[in-house]
Amino acid sequence: MKRQRIVIKIGSSSLTTKQGALDLEKLEGYVRAIVNLRKAGHEVILISSGAVAAGFSRLGYPVRPTTMAGKQAAAAVGQALLMQHYMERFHQHGIIAAQLLLTRKDFQNQTQYTNAYSALMELLKRRALPIINENDSTSIAELTFGDNDMLSALVSGLIHAHTLCILTDVNGLYDANPKTHPNAKRYQYLPTIPDEMLQMGGEAGSNVGTGGMKSKVAAAQTALSLGVDVFIGKASGEHALLDILSGKGDGTYVGNTGDLMEGKTKQWIRLHSPVSGVVRIDQGAERAIMNEGKSLLPAGVTSVHGTFQAGDVVHIWNEQNKVIAKGQVTLSSEQLRKVQGRKSDEAKQLIPLVRDEVVHRDQLVIQEKELNES
């Protein structure tokens, strides 16, 4: 079997008892399955839910709390418990486990995004096992990644994983809700995620998790766009993860994309970067960007909207007010207004240019959609 980089996402319902407590027997089973993946030569990153479920009983809650403060307090206790169990059990197999807590801000800020990538690459290089969870105790909107489903998709794209395994208590994707439609058909394989399937997904199926099949379908769609194949289903037994990689998993396989999307800079621009302004361009510049893979030069800019600095990300509009691209500018809005419509030689006489391009093609992604000018 070819050596792969694999992201394993384990949901709360897969780690807890019916009463919501952390199930150490289940956790031990996943640890053994991951150990076998490592022994087979694969690189593994674990995205583990379960912090809130592990911690709420320790704080005296009879059931999983429903308030944000209660969930965050439970996560603060439960995350430590969860990591303690993981670290002890992986240590028994000679594996060093490392904890990373991430929030949406870590993906939106380019420096933090790059730092997260560097840390993960270094941990993998050192043969450590990164264990990632959302920082539930400080997140403004609790569990904003959807029970870590979207977090697992974004991490798998960030590190250029080959496969994302989203493990849950349902054995794959169906053409209808199997709980209400006994004759629902399970998909063994899907090349892509149809848009209508996003409308079919249900909410969380237990009282210890926050995600549902809808969030898993959305995460799979995102992972596919990043060049990552996806498995959604169950995993039981110490050889379950190896079975998944060999095509014998109890669930649905999605993808076989083959090609990875852009590198981390373009990926950040496409998915996470905040937009600080708009640059409108003429037809010649649009053709150069869309059809010829070229950079945007000052000569092609017809107008500048908003206030931004060099290094910020802007939308690029064509003459029909349509967003055709998103890119990281080399000039501030003030500088760009001085040189818009001018050839590079003329622009250099007006302001000091570090480079000829307003947006270099390596910092530009095509992103065509309708947008009305406000």
For residue 332, give both structure tokens: 């501030």
CB 232 within 8 A of CB 259: no
Q: Is 12 annotated as a binding residue?
A: no
Q: Is 121 annotated as a binding residue?
A: no
Taking the alpha carbons of 23, 95, 241, 104 in that order, is the dihedral positive or negative? positive
DSSP reduced 3-state for 174: strand
As to burial, measured by CB atoms within 10 angstroms (0-12 exposed, 13-18 middle, 19+ buried), residue 47 is buried
Q: Is 213 annotated as a binding residue?
A: yes
Question: What is the pLDDT, as a whole number, of residue 250?
Answer: 94
Alpha helix (H) residue ranges in 226-311: 240-245, 264-271, 283-292
Per-domain residue ranges of the chain: 5-262, 274-370
Q: Is 212 annotated as a binding residue?
A: yes
Q: Is 57 annotated as a binding residue?
A: no
Question: What is the pLDDT, as a whole number, of residue 207?
Answer: 41
Residue pLDDT, tens place only, 224-279: 989 899 999 999 999 999 999 999 999 999 987 554 455 778 888 988 899 999 99
Q: Is 169 annotated as a binding residue?
A: yes
Q: What is the mean pLDDT of each run of 10 residues along the chain (374 residues)?
A: 90 83 92 97 94 87 87 90 96 97 86 94 97 73 64 94 94 86 88 79 45 84 92 94 93 74 78 93 95 94 96 95 94 95 91 87 78 42
Phi (first) and psi of residue 358, to 5 degrees: -75, -45
Which has the closest alpha carbon to 27: 11, 38, 44, 43? 11
Domains 5-262 and 274-370 alike in fold: no
Question: What is the pLDDT, as a whole number, of residue 83?
Answer: 95
For residue 145, give both structure tokens: 């990644």
Q: Is 148 annotated as a binding residue?
A: yes
Q: What is the CATH number of domain 5-262?
A: 3.40.1160.10
Question: What is the pLDDT, as a whole number, of residue 208?
Answer: 41
Instruction: Report pTM.
Output: 0.77
Measured between alpha carbons, how far is 224 from 218 in angstroms, rounded to an integer?
A: 10
Q: Is 265 annotated as a binding residue?
A: no
- In eight-state DSSP terms, residue 10 is E
CATH topology (fold) of 274-370 = 2.30.130
Alpha-carbon Rg for the chain in angstroms:
23
Taking CA atoms, 24 is separated from 200, 267, 332, in Å, by 33, 37, 54
Helix axes 110-125, 149-158, angle to 10 degrees: 80
Q: Is 261 annotated as a binding residue?
A: no
Residue pLDDT, tens place only, 83-104: 999 999 999 999 999 999 988 8
Question: What is the pLDDT, as a whole number, of residue 210?
Answer: 41
Question: What is the pLDDT, as a whole number, of residue 262?
Answer: 59
Half-sphere exposure of 119 (CA within 13 A, CB side): 16
Enumerate the β-bridge partners of residue 7.
Answer: 45, 164
Which amino acid, 173? L
Measured between alpha carbons, how far is 152 from 48 in angstroms, rounded to an integer?
A: 9
Measured between alpha carbons, how far is 82 from 58 in angstroms, rounded to an integer?
A: 12
Which residue bears the tokens 């959305």? 218
Q: Is 9 annotated as a binding residue?
A: yes
Measured between alpha carbons, how far is 264 from 94 in angstroms, rounded to an integer?
A: 31
Angle at 120 between CA 119 and CA 121, to 5 degrees: 95
Measured between alpha carbons, how far is 326 from 279 in angstroms, rounded to an integer?
A: 10
Tell which phi-psi region holds residue 126, choosing left (phi > 0), alpha (psi between -120 and 50) or beta. Answer: alpha
For residue 72, give both structure tokens: 């965050």
